[in-house]
């Protein structure tokens, strides 16, 4: 198993690094094995670092009133959607309210209370510190009835109170990345009321009155995005940082053999990575690892997969959200969109090229045409979001970053629907179906929540994004 994992990672590492490999081969003083293992360890641990940095940024508030975060063990109360200035999470959602919380379970378990949501769709996936979804209460799995869930850390020993559903977490850091359906602006206040009924309470305080404590703002928190923060770290600092994180958030069971290999270079729970253990040339090769790997992960977004369908990457990988030992795939997903769901809960087809294979660019006008009754087949809802190449929203005159089935889309006479994807207005009569683009390159992400079987088995695919000047 370890050999297969290391082989897969080595293939990835080799891409774009041919010159460095050549130098390492010619210069025997470079410890190529150490460099290779360090690259593998960086890829392996990247989601852990991104989760921790994201948690620190989103909990660095006094209360949940702002809607932009909440102290640890408290839920955000979103009252509006993220705008073009939002940089805390890549590829944010613009058509549902995030009801999210970061849990710190070291002291004691937390009790999650979920109210009855009637027919309203909601999803409360729980991610461990390595970014895997280990449980996902919600409409699909537990229904829309009221319930209490006891979330415990990896070292907890105790008795689960009667009436509570036990959810054991493999790590002390947990991200509940909830989404609640919002049916347009008139529905906002109803959703806010529902959000306030989603609560977290320490187990010791569950049967008493529990006023939410105020958070403490840390002014030293880096304002850059989590991706930028990691990219700027020197390797020694980075590895010793994740080594400490692994103590409270131990590697998963399936990682044990891999960790035994990594400990040899000083990467593992409580280990010490020391650059002074290596000679000058090896240090130089090691120092370039964060920049090299981050660059390669960034480039993955612009690399078309071998098989596109109508220009779309369907992203139907059954490992999505539950990665096993595919550390490379986990790192790519974490870097490009931390917090991915299981495909049973949500599918995210993505598109970076038009029907002719050309990169999507705001200098062109595009049309996405859905034939009658051929919009995404879902139990819940679907949307199409617009992002720049860094994975963030862009400012536009409509302040619209996504469009979907809860918008008042204009239907053609034959029952079909056209979505206009372009920088400038397609005309007042078509603006209801307009998704504004930036001036430069951009990419599209479709969100299909609670997908039906035709989407999961690939028999339904999104239509191509066609350049209006195209002859096809």
Q: Identify whether 363 is part of a domain.
A: yes
CA distance 334 to 294: 12
In Å, how far are 15, 101, 154, 423 from 200, measured between CA atoms? 45, 9, 18, 43
Whether 398 is in a domain gets the answer yes
Q: Domain check: are 196 and 70 in the same one?
A: yes
CATH code of 353's domain = 2.60.120.600
Average pLDDT (79-99) is 81
Q: Are 377 and 412 in contact (CB under 8 A)?
A: no
Q: Are residues 67 and 199 in the same domain?
A: yes
Percentage of the residues of the chain whose pLDDT score is greater than 90: 77
Please tell me whether residues 282 and 176 are part of one structural domain. Answer: no
Per-residue model confidence (pLDDT) at position 22: 43
Residues paired with residue 346 on neighbouring β-strands, in sequence order: 449
What's the rounded Cα separation, in Å, for the pair 84 and 392?
A: 7
Confidence check: pLDDT of 27 > 80: no
Domain co-membership, 317 together with 461: yes
What is the pairing mode between strands 346-347 and 126-127? unpaired
pLDDT higher than threshold 60 for residue 24: no
One domain, residues 405 and 455: yes
At residue 65, does pLDDT exceed 70?
A: yes
459/321 same-domain check: yes
Is residue 305 in some structural domain? no
241 and 367 housed in the same domain: no
**Residue 336, token pair as written in the block:** 């490009």
Q: pLDDT at residue 165 above 60?
A: yes
What residues contact 3, with CB distance under 8 A and at least 6 apart?
none
Position 16 scores a pLDDT of 47
Dist CA 37 CA 256 (whole Å): 15
Cα distance between residue 393 and residue 386, in whole Å: 7
**pLDDT digits 0-9 by tens, 246-303:** 999 999 999 999 999 999 999 999 999 999 999 999 999 999 999 999 988 888 755 5
Q: What is the pLDDT of residue 12?
A: 55
Range of the domain at 237: 2-45+228-300
* 123: in domain: yes
* C-alpha span between 368 and 280 (Å, rounded): 55
Q: How many domains does the chain have?
A: 3
d(CA 188, CA 344): 26
Co-location of 17 and 135 in the same domain? no
The pLDDT of 21-25, averaged and rounded, is 44
Q: Does residue 129 register a pLDDT over 50?
A: yes
Q: Hunting for tokens 């290779």 — which residue is that?
A: 36
Q: Are residues 79 and 6 in the same domain?
A: no
In contact, 425 and 409? CB cutoff 8 Å: no
Query: Taking 80 as the threshold, does the pLDDT of residue 184 lie above it?
Result: no
Residues 6+ apart with CB under 8 A from 392: 84, 86, 87, 90, 91, 92
Most confident of 10-19, 123-132, 329-338: 123-132
pLDDT band for position 418 (cuts 50, 70, 90):
very high
CA distance 251 to 265: 16
Residue 185 sits in the same domain as residue 332: no
* Distance between first and last Cα of the chain: 47
- Mean pLDDT (the chain, rounded): 90
CB contact set of 178 (below 8 Å; sequence gap of 6+): 75, 98, 99, 100, 101, 122, 123, 124, 125, 198
Final residue of a domain: which of 250, 276, 300?
300
Q: List the one residue out of 368, 355, 341 whose CA is nearest residue 437.
A: 368
Answer yes or no: do 413 and 328 share one domain.
yes
**Do 454 and 387 belong together in one domain?**
yes
pLDDT tens column, 302-323? 555 668 999 999 989 899 999 9
Of 156, 174, 205, the position where a domain reaches its end is 205
CB atoms within 10 A of CB 260: 11
Closest C-alpha to 385, from 463, 309, 444, 312: 444
Between 11 and 245, name the one with better pLDDT.
245
pLDDT > 90? residue 9? no
Q: pLDDT confidence of 10, banded at 50, 70, 90?
A: low
109 inside domain: yes
Judged against a pLDDT cut of 60, whether residue 3 lies above it is answered with no
Residue 332 lies in a domain: yes
Looking at residue 25, its pLDDT comes to 45
Residue 52 lies in a domain: no
Does the pLDDT at position 372 exceed 60? yes
């Amino acid at each position: 198993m370890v050999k297969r994992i290391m082989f897969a990672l080595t293939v990835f590492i080799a891409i774009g690094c041919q010159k460095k490999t050549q130098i390492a081969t010619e210069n025997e003083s470079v410890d190529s094995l150490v460099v290779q293992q360090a690259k593998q360890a960086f890829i392996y641990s990247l989601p852990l670092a991104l989760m921790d940095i994201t948690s620190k940024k989103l909990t660095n508030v006094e209360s949940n009133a702002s809607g932009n975060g909440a102290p640890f063990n408290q839920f955000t109360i979103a009252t509006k959607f993220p705008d073009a200035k939002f940089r805390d999470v890549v590829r944010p959602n613009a058509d549902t309210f995030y009801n999210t919380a970061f849990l710190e379970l070291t002291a004691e378990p937390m009790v999650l209370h979920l109210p009855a949501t009637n027919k309203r769709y909601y999803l409360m996936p729980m991610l461990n510190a390595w970014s895997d979804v280990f449980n996902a209460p919600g409409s699909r799995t537990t229904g829309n009835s009221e319930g209490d869930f006891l979330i415990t850390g990896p070292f907890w020993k105790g008795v689960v109170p009667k009436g509570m559903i036990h959810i054991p977490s493999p790590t002390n850091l947990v991200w509940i990345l909830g989404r609640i359906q919002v049916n347009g602006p008139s529905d906002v206040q109803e959703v806010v009321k529902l959000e306030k009924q989603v609560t977290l309470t320490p187990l010791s305080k569950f049967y008493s009155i529990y006023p939410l404590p105020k958070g403490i703002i840390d002014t030293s928190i880096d304002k850059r995005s989590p991706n930028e923060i990691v990219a700027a770290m020197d390797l020694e600092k980075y590895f010793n940082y994740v080594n400490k994180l692994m103590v409270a958030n131990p590697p998963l069971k399936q990682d044990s053999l891999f960790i035994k290999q990594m400990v040899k270079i000083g990467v593992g729970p409580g280990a010490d990575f020391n650059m002074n253990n290596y000679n000058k040339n090896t240090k130089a090769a090691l120092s370039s690892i964060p920049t090299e790997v981050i660059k390669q992960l960034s480039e993955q977004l612009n690399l078309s997969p071998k098989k596109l369908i109508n220009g779309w990457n369907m992203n139907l990988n059954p490992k999505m959200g539950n990665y096993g030992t595919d550390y490379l795939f986990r790192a790519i997903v974490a870097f490009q969109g931390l917090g991915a769901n299981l495909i049973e809960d949500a599918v995210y087809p993505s598109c970076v090229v038009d029907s002719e294979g050309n990169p999507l660019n705001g200098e062109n006008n595009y049309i996405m045409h859905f034939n009658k009754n051929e919009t995404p087949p879902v139990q819940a809802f679907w949307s199409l979001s617009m992002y720049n190449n860094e994975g963030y929203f862009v400012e536009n005159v409509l302040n619209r970053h996504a469009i979907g089935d809860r918008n008042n889309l204009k239907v053609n006479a034959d029952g079909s629907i056209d979505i206009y994807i372009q920088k400038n207005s397609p005309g007042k009569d078509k603006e209801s179906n307009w998704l504004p683009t930036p001036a430069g390159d951009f990419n599209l992400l479709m969100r299909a929540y609670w997908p039906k079987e035709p989407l999961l088995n690939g028999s339904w695919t999104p239509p191509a994004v066609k350049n209006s000047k195209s002859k096809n």
